[in-house]
A and B are shown apart, each in its own frame.
Chain A
Amino acid sequence: MSAGSPPGVVLDPWLSGVARLVEEGFDQLDLLTAVDLPRDGVIEIVIHLVRIEDHAHVFGHVRLPRADPVLESVTSILPAAAWHEREIHEMFGVEISGHPDLRPLLLQSTSGPPPLRKDTPLVARVETPWPGAVEETTGRRSRRAVTPPGVPPEWLGEGS
């Protein structure tokens, strides 16, 4: 396990790796999601599976290239994964191969940049004027640059 990886096992290739865990009795899908790691250039897929009989559980993950992420659908072995995969598809821009029905799940349109990619501007941050831009009236100048913390400067348009 490399530094920064979540706990659990690497499932690469993904589908056969998940299938092996399901065969070991981990057939209850608890979680299937993704994490965008722009610095590493990857989208990390995370699955959490539970084995009901002895309450054992396991995390599995795989890293996909951020530029062209394609994930094998596990719906053939875990039908409940269908919604999770649709969500990963629309929110992170991950192609899901072999999915029976990739209609948008929560978004009305998937034409824009994937909302949960970290470089996708948060519309509320771009359009809302930052209340901190108001000058303080103490007479002293603020010692640091007055920009909202945590917001990439390129998101800040004229309104902020």
Chain B
Amino acid sequence: MSAIPPRARGAIALDASACTSCMICVRECPDWCIEIESHTIEVTEPGARRPRSVAVLDRFTIDWGLCMYCGICVDVCPFDALAWVPQHHYPGVVPQDLRHGIERLEEFDVSDS
């Protein structure tokens, strides 16, 4: 069996620390299969005069049962928080298993690609 090419579109990995909850991927996805919940906290940097609003990502879900692997979300993310990885083996027993949250999307190994 031939090896899977490193740039294969197997899954989309999330780097939650890079995600700003900007909603761009959610809004551009033609299949409506990404969902985000977030909230804002105030952070005062040392030396800053006023606190800054920072978004905290609470939930990020991709529904692989709907996704058509078009890559638009990866392309539009301004913060490179999404990346293709070649892993493709993530079956589910019920449709709900194909909805991956932050933990599972972060597990995809980006160093592989």
User: Which residues of A are at the interface with B, using a C-beta cutoff of 8 A?
Assistant: 128, 130-132, 134, 136-139, 142, 146, 148-150
Contacts and interface: CB of A to CB of B under 8 A. Distances in A.
Interface of B: 20-23, 26-28, 30, 32, 34-40, 53, 55-56
A125 to B, nearest CB: 8
A131 B36 contact: yes
Given A128-B32, A130-B32, A139 B26 contact: no
Contacts of A128: 32
A6 B55 CA distance: 49
B39 A137 contact: yes
A148 B21 contact: no
B30 A150 contact: yes
Nearest to A146: B27
A132 B22 contact: no
A128 to B, nearest CB: 6
B22 A138 contact: yes
Contacts of A146: 27
Contacts of A132: 23, 26-27, 32
Contacts of A148: 27, 32
B27 A149 contact: yes
Contacts of A130: 32
Contacts of B27: 132, 146, 148-149
Q: Which 3 A-B pairs have the closest CB atoms?
A: A132-B27, A139-B53, A136-B23
A131 B55 CA distance: 18
A138 B32 contact: no
17 contacts: A131-B26, A131-B32, A131-B34, A131-B35, A131-B36, A132-B26, A132-B27, A132-B32, A134-B37, A136-B21, A136-B22, A136-B23, A136-B38, A137-B53, A137-B56, A138-B20, A142-B23
A149 to B, nearest CB: 7
Nearest to B40: A137
Nearest to A144: B27
Nearest to A128: B32
Given A136-B55, A149-B27, 15 more contacts: A131-B26, A131-B35, A132-B27, A134-B23, A134-B26, A134-B35, A134-B37, A136-B23, A137-B53, A137-B55, A138-B20, A138-B22, A139-B53, A148-B32, A149-B30
A139 B23 CA distance: 12
B2 to A, nearest CB: 29
A12 B64 CA distance: 45
Nearest to A132: B27
